Structure 1
Amino acid sequence: MPENYRPITIVPTLSKIIETCMFKQLYKYFIENNLLYKNQFGFRPNHSTAKAIECLVNSILSGLENKQVIGSTLIDLTKAFDVVTHSILFEKLNFYGVRNKELKLIQSYLTNRMQMVTVNNVSSQYQKVVAGVPQGSVLCPFLFLVFINDFHVNVSSMSVLYADDTTLLCSNVDVWQLNVQLINALQQAKDWYSANNLIINENKTQNIIFTYNNNLNLDDNYIKPVKLLGIVLDSKLTWRPHVEGICKKLSRVIFLLRKLKYCVNFEALLMTYFGLFHIHLCYGIRLWGNSGASKKVFLWQKKAIRLMADLFNQESCRQSFCNNFKIMTLACIYIYQNLVFVRENINTFISHELVHDYNTR
């Protein structure tokens, strides 16, 4: 359908070089002056979808530990990058201190651009681009981050963003007051989007309530699992729906491995394992890796190892993990990912010297 087409900018090499220089200077300025919202995880170094989910889940767990009920609204936008109003973007850049020649350079970059559509070797006439940031360019992601950067200032709830994927989070000990908070937060978000000419996709916007209390009488629409950035969240954070989704993906990969086993050499088979199987084990494992449901994933991993090692279904595959294939088990991947996290964030942890001064040995 024509409405599903997404314009992609084919950027010349020289333009990429100039854009890269502009981006590095702009990003450095925003970081040094602490201008970017801390919970924006999209298109930034050392940020990722996994870290966005971890930030959200940590906030949910913190509220649940305080015996609160947590409500969340997952907002989906319609073609957010294509409807960015240039005049509003220029005003925001000016507000953040990008003025004079620098602002004029960005204005020149965005104005008087032309686009066309080619379908089945038939091309349309050129049309002038009056809105949006050029997707496929170096500057596009950063300019969109600037455009949406003040969203959190206008919404009373906590918000976690990955580019245009926005999640609102409210907490309260009373579920009815929580519902009022969610309604107010969503209305504030709608007002901001309307003022900035962005459009919410009502059909894809979801709500979920997180609670350990089984006595609450909640509507089914508030307890259905939701999918955010590739992770399925259920109302009690059991991770069972997410693990079920992983197992379905792993079963398809095992089917492929079984077909490839007699067609390719072992090195190619191992590359297929790491390229299509291992990535599903690693993504978000710090969240679901210690849950009871993760045992099912480990069973599928052992099936894959036995398949590649020509072992029977009930035969031990421990030696194949450690000695033959040098593949980490699911538990080892979980431990490794946590060790990497601690190493990268060592300054955020409190040492025992800061808690007490007596010898523990």
Structure 2
Amino acid sequence: MKITVFKQRKDCTDGSLDTANELNKFFNRFSSGTNPASSSPVPSQSDIPSSSDPTFSCHTPALLSSNAVMDSSGSINLSSTKSGDAAAPFTSPSHLSVSRSQVKRQLERLNRNKAAGPDGVSPRVLKACAEQLCGILQHLFNLSLAQEKVPVLWKTSCLVPVPKKTRPSVNDDYRPVALTSHIMKVLERLLLVHLNKQTRTYQDPLQFAYRHGVGVEDAIIQLLQPIHCHLDKAGSTVRVMFFDFSSAFNTIQPDVLCQKLQKTQVGASTIAWIKDYLTNRPQFVRLKNCTSNQAISNIGAPQGTVLSPFLFTLYTSDFQYKSETCHLQKYSDDSAVVGCIRDGQEAEYRELVERFVAWCGNNHLTLNVNKTKEMILDFRRNRVESNTVSIMGEELEVVEEYKYLGVHLDNRLDWRKNSQAFYKKGHSRRHFLRTLRSFNVCSKMLQIFYKSVVESVISSAIVCWGSSIRSRDLKRLNSLIKSLVLFWGRLWNCWRR
């Protein structure tokens, strides 16, 4: 059923082997000392190394637990283990280990509609057979953690180029999203719980991404609260610099990350496992029906995996700054420096910017100067023109408006541009409701569609701007919501003051 009149544009990529190899080489450009586009083809399922291969030592049958029994056909069976008992893991007290119940719980949480990874194992099978597979996978996971090795097939990535723009023209217009093994994702989720506990005191309190209980709204409020408080004072201005990184996840240095983890409570064995997880990662690009040759990546963390976002936050946690007048806050790789300036005293703000830029260079994070912007907020009648800030010899552009974490900020803080953008999005989605109504869709389904597709857009981060919106914009949005709600037969005003 088609509810839009959208005509899909012709893809700019030709889907040839040369294009796929070129993209794979570009995505792997940060890895030094490797052959980014080897002539070896991508291994099929029949080419998986046997258990005698040291890289796949996690599959060595001789190390199976004593709970494994041999059935009449001669195959190994761990399903005879009682549901309340955990298969004895091959581990030592100094190594991290997981339990049978933990593995089973994660298997049951898998999304069965996700595509299979390079190993060809469907999450539908893993979820349906969680009871039968949890003991086997528990043993393999503990064996991997104890030996500080990750099977090559588990860390192999199938990169799918996702366009950043409507009409991509160069390789940099594509974002590499990795499809990896779902078995590996189960292990990553189990490890993530332990890492989060062990690094809690090391994490940046002003990092709002990938943390339980905080999110986008908290980051925006943290940005706005000191701005509003400071601008109430006489002779006050605020300068905000929004930093943009080039391929932030792809530039993580495993050795540097491991050195930083040594300062936390993470064990040496787990750190060694993380280093093996990030290095010698085979990757290939799938473009339409074409698959590129394999490349080996030793730099960066693949986008689309479970651990990569959290590892990036740990990678950037050693640079923290917060004072009464300046602070640095982060949401994943979206970083912002806020400087509250009084009587033109900008020394602390400029020094913080210089220190952060130098830290980025020392940690191999590449700043995109062209996309790094600065906004100056000054409500005085007689404004004093501020001197521009330069980064790496280039003057930064001072903008009147900037889209930060989905909301449109402007230097007047009246939310006019943000209201216009949200109204435009909500108005464009009204056509979808009309089309669904013409298909005689029930009111309950229309309500679900409205809440998930329309309301989620209009009310995004409403706690940050709901009390500051102009009366005219409020009435406009309120009128739009009334017209939308009437489509399922109920008149409802959720914007009543």
Higher share of residues assigned helix: 1
Aligned counterpart for 1:9 among listed residues 161, 178, 185: 178
SS in 2 for 1:74: strand
Pairing 1:22–2:191 present: yes
User: Does the CA-based 8 Å contact 1:49-1:229 persist in structure 2?
Assistant: yes
Query: Shift of residue 165 of structure 1?
Result: 0.3
TM-superposed deviation, 1:302 = 2.8
Give the counterpart letter for 1:25 in structure 2.
H
State the Cα distance separating 1:53 from its structure 2 match: 0.5
Q: Do the aligned partners of 1:261 and 1:308 also contact (CA within 8 Å) in 2?
A: no
Matched, 1:242 2:413: no
Aligned length: 316
SS at match of 1:45: coil
Give the distance between the partners of 1:309 and 1:4, measured in 2 at CA: 41
1:59 aligns to 2:235 (yes or no)? no
2:376 and 2:398 in contact (8 A); partners too: yes
What residue in structure 1 maps to residue 354 of structure 2? 187
Give the letter aligned to residue 282 of structure 1.
S
**Map 1:200-349 → 2, pairs under 5 A:** 200-218=367-385, 222=398, 224-265=400-441, 266-293=443-470, 295-306=472-483, 309=486, 325=490, 327-331=492-496
Distance 2:286 2:410 in 1: 43
Distance 1:326 1:304 in 2: 9
Residue number in structure 1 paired with 2:203: 36
Partner of 2:273: 105
TM-score scaled by length of structure 2: 0.59
Give 1:131 shift: 0.6
Distance 1:292 1:195, change over 3 A: closer
1:128 maps onto 2:296 in alignment: yes
Per-residue Cα deviation, 1:80-126 (whole angstroms, up to 9, x for no partner): 00111111111111122324212111122122111111223222211
Q: Deviations over 1:267-321 (max 9, x none)?
A: 33323321222112321212221224254244344344335537xxxxxxxxx9x
CA–CA distance in structure 2, aligned partners of residues 141 and 223 of structure 1 = 29
Distance (Å, rounded) in 1 between the aligned partners of 2:471 and 2:422: 10
- Residues 427, 480 of structure 2: 8 Å contact kept: no
Query: Does 2:247 correspond to 1:79?
Result: yes
Offset of residue 75 of structure 1 = 0.2
Mark the structure with the bigger radius of gyration: 2
Q: Evaluate the alpha carbon distance shift between residue 253 and residue 302 of structure 1 in structure 2; reply closer, same or farther with a 3 A threshold.
A: same
Does the CA-based 8 Å contact 1:243-1:294 persist in structure 2? no
> Is the contact between residue 258 and residue 307 of structure 1 (CA under 8 Å) also seen in structure 2?
no
Instruction: Find the aligned partners of 1:121 and 1:237 in 2 and give their Cα distance.
Output: 49
Residue in structure 2 matched with residue 145 of structure 1 by the alignment: 313
Deviations 1:235-288 (A, max 9, x none): 121111111111111221223333433234233332332122211232121222
- The Cα of 1:30 is off from its aligned counterpart by 1.8
Q: Which amino acid aligns with 2:250?
A: D
Q: Deviations over 1:168-222 (max 9, x none)?
A: 01112123x33x5444332222101100001111111110112221210447954
Contact 1:72–1:182, Cα closer than 8 Å, also in 2: no
Aligned equivalents of 1:8 and 1:262: distance in 2?
37
- The equivalent residue for 2:86 is none
The amino acid that maps onto 1:330 is W
TM-score (norm 1): 0.80
Alignment CA distance shift 1:298-1:254 (3 Å): farther
Whether the 8 Å contact between 1:72 and 1:207 is mirrored in structure 2 is: yes
Q: CA distance change for structure 1 residues 294 and 101 in 2, over 3 Å: closer, same or farther?
A: farther
Match 1:165 to one of 308, 326, 334: 334
Q: Distance in 2 between matches of 1:69 and 1:307?
A: 41
Ranges in structure 2 where 5+ consecutive residues have no aligned partner = 1-169, 389-396
Q: Deviations over 1:6-38 (max 9, x none)?
A: 33332323222221221101101222xx22111
Contact preservation (8 Å) 1:251, 1:300: no
Q: Please point out which of 268, 284, 287 is paired with 1:119.
A: 287
Instruction: Give secondary structure in 2 for the equivalent of 1:9.
Output: strand
More divergent stretch after superposition (61-70 vs 225-234): 61-70
Once superposed, what is the RMSD of the aligned Cα atoms? 2.5
**Residue pair 1:10, 1:136 contacting (<8 A) in 2 also:** yes
Aligned equivalents of 2:174, 2:483: Cα separation in 1: 44
